[in-house]
Amino acid sequence: MVERRPWLDVFTHIVLLLSAVALLVPVWLALVAATQDVAGVNSVPIHWLPGGHLADNLAEAWRRGGFATRFTTSLIVAVGVTVGKIVLAMLAAFAIVFFSWRARVLVFWAIFITLMLPLEVRIVPTYAVAANALAPFQAILDATGLTGLIETVSGIHVALQWRLLNSYPGLILPLIATATGTFLYRQFFLTIPEELVEAAKMDGAGALRFLWDVLVPLSRTTMAALATIMFVYAWNQYLWPLLVTTEPERSTVMVELSRMVPRGDGLPEWNIVMAGALLAMLPPLAVVVLMQRWFVRGLVQTEK
């Protein structure tokens, strides 16, 4: 508490309460929907109070989604994406902010532009890459005539092939390629006082030493925020996993959940879908609740 201002405190509480309610109403409705039977969930006006079918619906969703095995897959993917993205983003942003080199603006924009065209729009050519991640390099070798050259010299025909379908790298790698993390880290690194860099250089610390000893501890809240966002993002992905996992037993929780959503002339069993959604949101929920503890201030100024 910075100072005492009772009226402001009351006002604050009211605003927070209203916002919490506005944010929670949809989630509450999802919870209520998960406790109805199929007629109840489709009735108008909607029910605002829970019914008695929660356990049935949860069990049915668990069975239909085959969640017992899917949770492991999703967890590996989400953790892989979170860790991969943080590491990649930090390294790239570090290079962009703390080094003078000619290509840095170009590199930053090259990374940044990837935000500007969603996967859906380029899905067909992206699938071809998933079927063989080395296809671009093979194409370059072919186009430059290197394939032929190597074949004449060594007698070996170069045919690069790395099939990503139904594999963890296929699920993880494309999702860590986007630019949000890099951009966020760039923003954070730009706030680091110049004196810190000077001091580090004066002490004779190399760039990597500076990264590890100074920047990593300083970026704790940023990292926590990014990790939260990335875990939820990765966990909730379904279009890419749907595309990459052609064998049903390798799919993720969200893919299975999206398969439960009724469309068109199907039976609108939203009660099952919502029960599935509740189950599916448990891990991200746990992460969100755990990570927010890291947003606490304190470390930042003691480091300085």
Partner 1 sequence: MKFRLTALAAGLALTLGAPAAQAQQRQGFTFWYGLTGQLSDVVQEVCKRFNDSQQQYQITCTSQGDYAKALQNTIAAFRAGEQPTIVQVYDIGTADLMLSGQYVPARALMSEQGYDVDWSNYIAPIAAYYANSKGEMLSFPFNSSTAVMYWNRAEGRKVGFENPPATWEDLHKALVAMKQAGSACPMSMDFDSWALFEQFTAAHNIPVASKDNGYGGLDAEYVFDNQPLVKQHFNNLLNWYKDGLIKVRTPESGQNVIASFASGDCNVTFGSIASHQTVRLTAKEGLDWTPALLPVYAGHERYNTRVGGASLWALKGRPQTEYKGAAAFFAFLATPESEEFWSTRTGYVPVTRTGYERMKDEGFFERPENVGREVAMKSLLLREPTPLTKGLRLGNLTQFRAAYANEMQAAFAGQKSMDQALASLQEQGNQLLRRFQQTYRGKTLP
Partner 2 sequence: MERRATFRSPLLPWLLVLPQLLIIFVFFYWPTGEAFHWAFTLEQPWGGGRQWVGWQNFQEIFGSAAYWSSVRTSLTYAFGTSALAILIALLLALFIDREVRASRGWRVALIWPYAIAAPAIGMIFRFVFDPRAGVFSTLNALWPGAWDPALNGTHAMLMLILAGAWQLVAYNFVFFLAGLQSIPRPLIEAAAMDGAGPLRRMRDIQVPLLAPTFFFLVVINLTDSFTNSFGLVDIMTAGGPARATEIMVYKIYADGFKGLDYSGAAAQSIVLMGLVILLTVIQFRFVERKMHYR
Binding track, positions 33-72, relative to partner 2; x by CB under 8 A: x----------xxx--------------------------
How far are the Cα atoms of 77, 129, 223, 241 from residue 247, in angstroms, in the given order? 16, 18, 34, 11
Report how far Cα 140 is from the mean position of its chain's Cα atoms: 31
Residue 160 binds partner 1, judged by CB under 8 A: no
Are 51 and 37 in contact, with CB atoms under 8 Å apart? yes
- Specify the stretch interacting with partner 2 by CB under 8 A; choose among 61-69, 74-82, 91-99, 153-161: 91-99
Site string (170-189) toward partner 1, x via CB under 8 A: x-x-----------------
Measured distance CA(302)–CA(299) in Å, rounded: 5
By a kind-dependent CB cut-off of 5 to 8 A, residue 55 interacts, out of partner 1, partner 2, none, with none
Q: Which member of 64, 197, 224, 236 binds partner 1 (CB under 8 A)?
A: 64
Q: How far is the CB of 153 from partner 2 (least distance, A)?
A: 26
Rounded Cα distance, 264 and 161, in Å? 40
Nearer to partner 1, 144 or 246 (CB): 246
Give which of 226, 103, 120 is closest to 176, Cα–Cα. Answer: 226
Given candidates 5, 159, 213, 216, which one binds partner 2 under the rule CB under 8 A?
5
Burial of 50 (0-12, 13-18, 19+ CB in 10 A): middle
Total residues contacting partner 2 by CB under 8 A comes to 111
From partner 1, partner 2, none, interface partner of 247 (C-beta below 5 to 8 A by class): partner 1
Vertex 198 angle, CA 195 and 203, to 5°: 125
Using CB under 8 A as the binding rule, the residues of this chain from 187 to 206 that contact partner 2 are: 187-188, 190-191, 193-194, 197-198, 201, 206
Exposed (0-12), middle (13-18) or buried (19+): which is 59, by Cβ within 10 Å? exposed
Q: What is the largest CA-CA distance in the chain?
A: 84
Tell me: does residue 238 bind partner 2 (CB under 8 A).
Answer: yes
Tokens of 98: 């703390």
107 binds partner 1 (CB under 8 A): no
Among partner 1, partner 2, none, residue 209 binds (CB under 5-8 Å by kind): none
Interaction residues for partner 1, span 247-286 (CB under 8 A): 247-248, 258-269, 272-273
> What's 52's DSSP letter?
S
For residue 131, state whether it binds partner 1 (rule: CB under 8 A). yes
Q: Per rule CB under 8 A, is residue 194 in the interface with partner 1? A: no
Q: What are residue 201's phi and psi, to 5 degrees? A: -65, -40
The footprint of partner 1 (CB under 8 A) covers 38-39, 42-44, 64, 87, 123-124, 126-128, 130-132, 162-170, 172, 242-243, 246-248, 258-269, 272-273
